Amino acid sequence: MGYLKKHIKSGIKVGDTVKVTRIAEDNENGWGSKWNSMGHMDCYVGKKHTVIGDGEKLGFELESIKGGHSFYFPYFVLKKVNPKKAVKKKIHEYIEKNIYFDEDKKPLKKIVSMILKEL
């Protein structure tokens, strides 16, 4: 299967939130582009970004950092992030750390479950 078919099959689309997981090799796996040799793309690694364009063989265009240039990244270095799941996890952690109803926390767990179902 060629790069473009795998790109499409990745399920990533404009508007998705993704995390750049690693640096890609130039033209790796048939990717039609190169990793920025000046190191500008490196600062995207390990961070979450919004997909703002689909350059097909060039990869997915991610929002620029601090108003700089945007770059195209191959599908295989991107991992889709479920923002709703991340928000739920942060809410749960905050409530668990900051609100206590009794020693066994049973009422807390029930309330947290109810709140998370509503999101």
Sequence spans of domains, the chain: 3-81, 84-118
Which amino acid, 95?
Answer: I
| Per-residue confidence band for 99, with pLDDT thresholds at 50, 70 and 90 | low
Residue 42 or 103, more confident: 42
CATH 2.30.30 is right for the domain spanning 3-81: yes
Tens digits of per-residue pLDDT, 16-65? 999 999 999 998 999 989 998 687 899 999 999 999 999 999 999 999 87
pTM assigned to the model: 0.69
- Give the per-residue pLDDT at 109: 66
